[in-house]
Amino acid sequence: MAQIALNHVTKEYSGADIVAVDDVSLEIDDGEFLVLVGPSGCGKSTTLRTVAGLETATEGDVSIGSTRVNGLEPRDRDVAMVFQNYALYPHMNVRHNIGFGLRLATDMSKGEIEDRVEEAAGLLEITDLLDQKPKALSGGQQQRVALGRAIVREPQAFLFDEPLSNLDARLRKQMRTEIARIQEQLDVTSIYVTHDQEEAMTMGDRIAVMNDGKLQQVGRPNEVYNDPANRFVAGFIGSPSMNMLESEVAESDGNAELQSAEDGALTYALSAEMTDEYALTPGDRVTIGARPEDVRVAVSPDAFDSQSHETTVDVVEPLGSDNLLYLSLGETTWTARVPPSFEPSTGESAYLSFPPEALHLFDERGETLKSRDLTDPLTTSRVTAAGTD
């Protein structure tokens, strides 16, 4: 086990004139599970492959433990990769598939290898499959065997490259939990690449969000969700996505307000404290953000003591536990997550509101000015009483 550090790592594909990884610095603690997440093409795999030694950094350093590994071959880095394409040997049974790397690359005795294979199989709950051939296994079982191959090597780090993308949704969820459990049990430093923000949120001790080769934010899942560093992270993390609206600061009767820039359909009065705290002056362009669960909806404007806006219900999407409402307000569609008992008809009017505490604001460059304020005395005291804070 070891800490992994990337220090100003850049990877340029000069022939293609592409900067796949752009000055990324990142430290993964000993035993930590870090998920690297971002849209397709943002440089996640290249970053991981640079740690594995399958790519060479154009600039910067990669270290594993106390060793700078830039010049080391992949096999000398003592890391194990797990891919989505698990490529098991079809003619070998599970036992031999798992032990193959050890037979090939170490001088361990047959007995020692057998012990490690048995131990890994126990951990993966596939002991009864050890004598089966891969073709007799389901996709999920094959992925466990692939994990087994990585585990028996007892590497300093696991590097996962979208290992679950071949599996169906249900199995994927199950394997997420399994991988997280096994990683925690083995306490091996891990980097896990995925484009799936939900996977990142549920699996990572911390998540690192990338876009366009650049690291956007590194933090615990809830931190990244509740206090995103910029507009990109705010929009990428969370499903359905955060509602966002371009707006301009304007003045009305001596008070500041936000007006939707495109259609003027939304105005949102700002308190003097807010304009002071975020240094907002008339003419400033800011993006308003509100999570679907923070958008309150009612059939009448009287339900709100703060500002409300009339909308038309476009779509009602029942999820069982909640309903998602898609509401049109001027040119924009707002998404609201409401209790299942609230089920307006499409075409009906509905009023939406979002309290100032729920509001996110991003400046013209997309940097965060304000995030939602979750200070809730009730939940805070409950968490503390349970001893988890």
- Does residue 353 interact with ligand ADP by CB under 6 A? no
Among 9, 46, 77, 233, binds ligand ADP (CB under 6 A): 46
Q: Is 41 in the site for ligand ADP (CB under 6 A)?
A: yes
Stretch that binds ligand ADP, among 12-20, 91-99, 267-275, 331-339 (CB under 6 A): 12-20
Pick from 4, 45, 69, 295 the residue near ligand ADP by CB under 6 A. 45
Contact range with ligand ADP by CB under 6 A, out of 13-21, 104-112, 140-148, 270-278: 13-21
Least Å from the CB of residue 251 to ligand ADP: 44
Among 1, 7, 10, 18, binds ligand ADP (CB under 6 A): 18
Residue 278 burial (10 A CB sphere; 0-12, 13-18, 19+): middle
**Cα–Cα distance for residue pair 163/48, rounded to 1 Å:** 13
- Does 16 interact with ligand ADP (rule: CB under 6 A)? yes
Q: Number of C-alpha atoms within 13 angstroms, CB side, residue 279?
A: 3
CA terminus-to-terminus distance, the chain: 28
- Which of 35, 44, 207, 370 binds ligand ADP (CB under 6 A)? It is 44
Is the CB of 162 or the CB of 284 nearer to ligand ADP?
162
Please give the C-alpha separations between residue 372 and each of 10, 28, 91, 277, 305, in angstroms, as whole numbers.
34, 28, 56, 14, 19
- Asked if 42 is part of the footprint of ligand ADP (rule: CB under 6 A), the reply reads yes
> Six-digit token pair at 121?
């199989």
Size of the site for ligand ADP (CB under 6 A): 12
Any contact of residue 321 with ligand ADP (CB under 6 A)? no
With contact defined as beta carbons under 8 Å apart, do 191 and 36 qualify?
Answer: yes
CB-nearer residue toward ligand ADP: 196 or 293? 196
C-alpha to C-alpha distance for 349 and 344, rounded to whole angstroms: 9
20 near ligand ADP, judged by CB under 6 A: yes
Question: Residues 81-100, buried b or exposed e (16+ Cβ, 10 A)?
Answer: bbbeebebeeeebbbbbbbb
Pair 297, 325: CB distance under 8 Å: yes
Element containing residue 288 per DSSP (H, E): strand 285-290
User: Which residue lies nearer to ligand ADP by CB, 21 or 182?
Assistant: 21
Contact criterion met (CB below 8 Å) for 81 and 162:
no
Q: Which is nearer to ligand ADP, 194 or 371 (CB)?
A: 194
Could you say whether residue 356 binds ligand ADP (CB under 6 A)?
A: no
Min. distance of Cβ 83 from ligand ADP in angstroms?
Answer: 12
Q: Applying CB under 6 A, which of residues 13, 85, 103, 276 lies at the interface with ligand ADP?
A: 13
Asked if 89 touches ligand ADP (CB under 6 A), the answer is no
CA distances from 4 to 59, 124, 156, 194, 244 (A): 17, 25, 9, 19, 36
Q: Is 54 in the site for ligand ADP (CB under 6 A)?
A: no
Q: Which stretch binds ligand ADP (CB under 6 A): 44-52, 80-88, 140-148, 273-281?
A: 44-52
Considering beta carbons, is residue 55 or 257 the nearer one to ligand ADP? 55
- DSSP character for 304? -
93, 168 contact by CB (below 8 A)? no
CB of 38 to ligand ADP, least distance (A): 6
User: Got the DSSP string for 176-205?
Assistant: HHHHHHHHHHHT-EEEEEES-HHHHHHH-S
What is d(CA 297, CA 310) in angstroms, rounded to the nearest whole number? 10
Q: For ligand ADP, which is the closer residue by CB, 18 or 180? A: 18
Compute the least distance from the CB of residue 21 to ligand ADP, in Å.
7
Positions in the binding site for ligand ADP (CB under 6 A) = 13, 16, 18, 20, 38, 40-46
